[in-house]
């Protein structure tokens, strides 16, 4: 049987890990294709991808039946969540839960990833974003504020899930940047001061086999990883 879809990406893309977590929970096979040179117009494989996705952005998903070519990580996760038997669990069983889950999906992108990305680039891609302590610390503070909100909701709820009593897209979307940040920005001091429950929350989510398979082990740091001043 042909896979449900192919997703084009660069290696170790957190947005693809989130998509794979949802796909695995729904029993959908999504093949990853990263055998191309992103942005290289002379690469025939990349030129072929551009014919489907002219904006040239990854991750990009094509269904095997040819009915859909889709970009934007949040939209891909939602599509995969709706395409299998656990759609009601993943997206919410009531209109209120669906709204709350969608809010968390937006929050994950607009507050967590938006403030994690600049420090991450300063450390790993200083050719794109040179390290600057003031800028790094500004985004770190904004990220910490967002993480503190996650902490607040967890402590007011059951501590295991953001919405309801089972894993939803809300958890998958939020877990992605938090797992990534645990290697870089979400250090012991931040967890102690603003998010003492977050690491336990993530470890609990990673006990779900499909999430563990998609995200791998939780790697943590004691101190923030910083870039080098030029």
CA contacts within 13 A on the Cβ side of 27: 4
User: What is the C-alpha to C-alpha distance for residues 88 and 83, in angstroms, rounded to an integer?
Assistant: 10
Asked if pLDDT for residue 2 goes beyond 90, the answer is no
User: At 228, is the pLDDT very low, low, confident or very high (cuts 50, 70, 90)?
Assistant: confident
Assess whether the previous peptide bond of 193 is cis (omega < 30° from 0).
Answer: no
Q: Of the CATH numbers 3.10.620.30, 3.40.30.10, 3.40.50.300, 3.30.390.30, which one belongs to the domain with range 5-86? A: 3.40.30.10
Spans of all domains in the chain: 5-86, 92-215
pLDDT tens-digit series, residues 29-54: 999 999 999 988 889 999 999 999 99
What is the reported pLDDT for 39? 87
- Fold match between 5-86 and 92-215? no
Single pTM value for the model: 0.95
Asked if pLDDT for residue 103 goes beyond 70, the answer is yes
Between residues 100 and 157, the one the model is more confident about: 100
pLDDT tens-digit series, residues 183-220: 999 999 999 999 999 999 999 999 999 999 999 999 99
Q: Of the CATH numbers 3.50.50.60, 3.20.20.100, 1.20.1050.10, 3.40.630.30, which one belongs to the domain with range 92-215? A: 1.20.1050.10
Asked if pLDDT for residue 89 goes beyond 70, the answer is yes
């Amino acid at each position: 049987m042909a896979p449900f879809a192919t997703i084009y990406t660069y290696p170790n893309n957190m947005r693809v890990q989130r998509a794979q977590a949802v796909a695995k929970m729904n029993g959908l096979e999504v093949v990853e294709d990263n055998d191309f040179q992103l942005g290289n117009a002379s690469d025939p494989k990349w030129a072929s991808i551009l014919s489907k996705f002219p904006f040239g952005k990854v991750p990009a998903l094509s269904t095997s039946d040819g009915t859909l070519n889709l970009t934007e990580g949040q939209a891909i996760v939602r599509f995969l969540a709706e395409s299998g038997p656990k759609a009601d669990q993943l997206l919410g069983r009531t209109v209120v839960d669906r709204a709350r889950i969608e809010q968390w999906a937006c929050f994950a992108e607009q507050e967590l990833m938006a403030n994690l990305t600049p420090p991450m680039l300063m450390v790993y891609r200083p050719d794109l974003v040179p390290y600057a302590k003031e800028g790094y610390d500004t985004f770190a503070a904004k990220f910490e504020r967002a993480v503190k909100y996650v902490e607040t909701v967890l402590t007011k709820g059951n501590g295991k899930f953001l919405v309801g009593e089972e894993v939803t897209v809300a958890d998958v979307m939020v877990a992605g940047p938090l797992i990534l940040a645990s290697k870089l920005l979400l250090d012991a001091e931040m967890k102690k001061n603003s998010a003492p429950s977050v690491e336990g929350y993530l470890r609990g989510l990673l006990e779900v086999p499909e999430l563990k398979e998609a995200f791998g082990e939780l790697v943590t740091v004691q101190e923030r990883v910083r870039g080098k001043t030029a």
